[in-house]
Amino acid sequence: MPSTIVRELEKPCAACEAFSVCEKIDQDYHEQLIQSGWNYRVLKDADGRRVSSPIRRCSEAFWKLHASTFEGKEVLEIGCGRASLFDSAFIRSHDVRYTGIDPHPRRRGLPPIQSQTIPSKFFNLFIRCLNFPLSFLINLKHKIQPGSRIYYIKDFFPSDKLKRNIYDVIYSSNSIEHWHEKIGGSSSDHQWKSNFNDIEKSVGLYRKDIQICYDLLKPDGVAMFDCPIYLHGNVLFFRAFLDQIRTIFQSVPWNKITYEYWRKDYNGLRAYLPDDFKAACASVYHMEVENIWMLGIVAKKQS
Ligand SMILES: C[S@@+](CC[C@H](N)C(=O)[O-])C[C@H]1O[C@@H](n2cnc3c(N)ncnc32)[C@H](O)[C@@H]1O
């Protein structure tokens, strides 16, 4: 197996381009943050819109830093959900050919039902009736069509609806930690007894996933992942089994892999650790957490 160049990069908040944005949020919402026990997820701005969480802001900074990687490329986004950073304006202006895969993707053609503003049951029913044949038709065409710019696949990854060796870039944001979250030790498990089998099982499943990502990429292709550490999801991510995560990613012969540690050094900002979560870590999960941070992984395939 050719050897992989491995790099590890600290991404301290103080050196991040988004530092002033994060600092301003900490200042502007100081009172609300105190009242909510440092829970950023309940913050609303003057127009009633949710203020993004620290991890979301890290994901946006990670995306911006690597946005040129997408330029003119065939991109697969795994776990695009309804709030993907790829919008049609970005896709067109960066000449991206985009495929998103998610069991609950954003629908093409019609906005998601939740975003309808008229709170009428009948109106929603009407939209559902319209949406059904449209999504049925989209799902019928589950094959990749080279050349079509925006395409969604409604399925879990890995999916046999994906062909091999066709993507320049695979991108996945805040999703990988959810792929195997029913395994013991994950955030839904409130009675974990440190069973090492759960770790091994997770490693086995994720190794298969990363091998499939590797096979889906063209030579020289790039895989980019970001995910929170200590926030939720599968045991490896929720309980920070970083050696195992690195073992998974390095089980395929990348040319180069970089691990980026975002917000691990949060100097100048507050730690991201809501009070109730801190209490749950101690009493329910029996783990010590000081700060939730984000892991970014950028891996380049051999040519
Ligand atoms: C927290 S959301 C993130 C959505 C979007 N990437 C974002 O950053 O806003 C996680 C997404 O991963 C999706 N997901 C979970 N398991 C998946 C799998 N095996 N394959 C594809 N998507 C998956 C979920 O349906 C969900 O939409």
- In whole angstroms, give the CA distance from residue 294 to residue 104: 24
pLDDT of residue 132: 56
- 225 Cα: distance to centroid of ligand 1 (angstroms): 12
Residue 166: name the closest of 138, 145, 141, 193 by CA: 145
Please work out whether the CB of residue 103 comes within 6 Å of at least one atom of ligand 1.
yes
- 30 Cα: distance to centroid of ligand 1 (angstroms): 31
For the chain, the structural domain boundaries read 53-109+122-256+281-300
pLDDT-derived band at 82, boundaries 50, 70, 90: confident
Cα Rg of the chain, angstroms: 20
pLDDT of residue 203: 98
Give, using CA atoms, the residue closest to atom 27 of ligand 1.
81
Q: Which residues have C-beta within 8 Å of that of residue 243, sequence separation ≥ 6?
A: none
pLDDT-derived band at 152, boundaries 50, 70, 90: confident
Q: Are 258 and 197 in contact (CB under 8 A)?
A: no
Q: Which CATH superfamily is domain 53-109+122-256+281-300 in?
A: Vaccinia Virus protein VP39 (3.40.50.150)
pTM of the model: 0.87
The 10s digit of each residue's pLDDT in 140-149 is 444 444 445 8
pLDDT of residue 151: 85
pLDDT-derived band at 89, boundaries 50, 70, 90: confident
pLDDT of residue 231: 97
Q: Evaluate if residue 188 carries a pLDDT over 60.
A: yes
Please work out whether the CB of residue 50 comes within 6 Å of at least one atom of ligand 1.
no
> Strand 74-78 to strand 167-173: parallel, antiparallel, or no bridges (unpaired)?
parallel
Average the pLDDT over 278-297 and give the result. Answer: 96
Please work out whether the CB of residue 179 comes within 6 Å of at least one atom of ligand 1.
yes
Q: Which of 170, 178, 188 to mutate to test the pocket of ligand 1 (most atoms within 8 A of CB)?
A: 178
Give, using CA atoms, the residue closest to atom 10 of ligand 1.
175
Give, using CA atoms, the residue closest to atom 23 of ligand 1.
79
Please work out whether the CB of residue 228 comes within 6 Å of at least one atom of ligand 1.
no
Q: Are 108 and 131 in contact (CB under 8 A)?
A: no
pLDDT of residue 244: 98
pLDDT of residue 146: 45
- In whole angstroms, give the CA distance from residue 242 to residue 157: 22
Q: Which of 102, 106, 174, 212 to mutate to test the pocket of ligand 1 (most atoms within 8 A of CB)?
A: 102
- 174 Cα: distance to centroid of ligand 1 (angstroms): 7
The atom of ligand 1 lying closest to the CA of 78 is 21
pLDDT of residue 107: 55
pLDDT of residue 282: 95
- 175 Cα: distance to centroid of ligand 1 (angstroms): 4
Average the pLDDT over 114-133 and give the result. Answer: 52
pLDDT-derived band at 260, boundaries 50, 70, 90: very high
Please work out whether the CB of residue 157 comes within 6 Å of at least one atom of ligand 1.
yes
Q: Evaluate if residue 108 carries a pLDDT over 60.
A: no
Q: Are 229 and 216 in contact (CB under 8 A)?
A: no
Q: Are 181 and 188 in contact (CB under 8 A)?
A: yes
pLDDT of residue 116: 31
Please work out whether the CB of residue 177 comes within 6 Å of at least one atom of ligand 1.
no
Least confidently predicted of 25-34, 101-110, 168-177, 283-292: 101-110
pLDDT of residue 255: 98
- 80 Cα: distance to centroid of ligand 1 (angstroms): 6
- Hey, what are 171's tokens? 């991108």
